Amino acid sequence: MSTVDSRPSDRPSDIREMVAGFLATAAIFVSAIGVAYRPARLIPVAVVVVLVAARMTERYTRLVGWAVAITVVCWIVGMTIAVITEHPLY
């Protein structure tokens, strides 16, 4: 037979989706760290990473949506804690 068997993991779109999932997960992790340590320095980086992941994916829209929501909540909580405890923002 002369058919080409393409595995789903070899397609560029699947690799892009996988990278987008990792970026969304990394953004959640960075924003959670930003709550406790320098929120004005870390959480904007997480926002940029989430926006890049949102642009890259079509499959993981729920994960990216949760990542955006978690990042926003972490920004609010982190800035509130930093101001109340008088810790440096950056």
Segment 53-62, tens digit of pLDDT: 999 988 889 9
| Stretches in the chain below the pLDDT threshold 70 | 1-12
Q: According to the model, what pLDDT value does residue 43 have?
A: 93
Smallest CA-to-CA distance from 25 within 55, 58, 50, 52 is with 50
Predicted structure pTM score: 0.80
Q: CA 21 → CA 8, 11, 40, 71, 87, distances in Å? A: 17, 16, 24, 15, 32
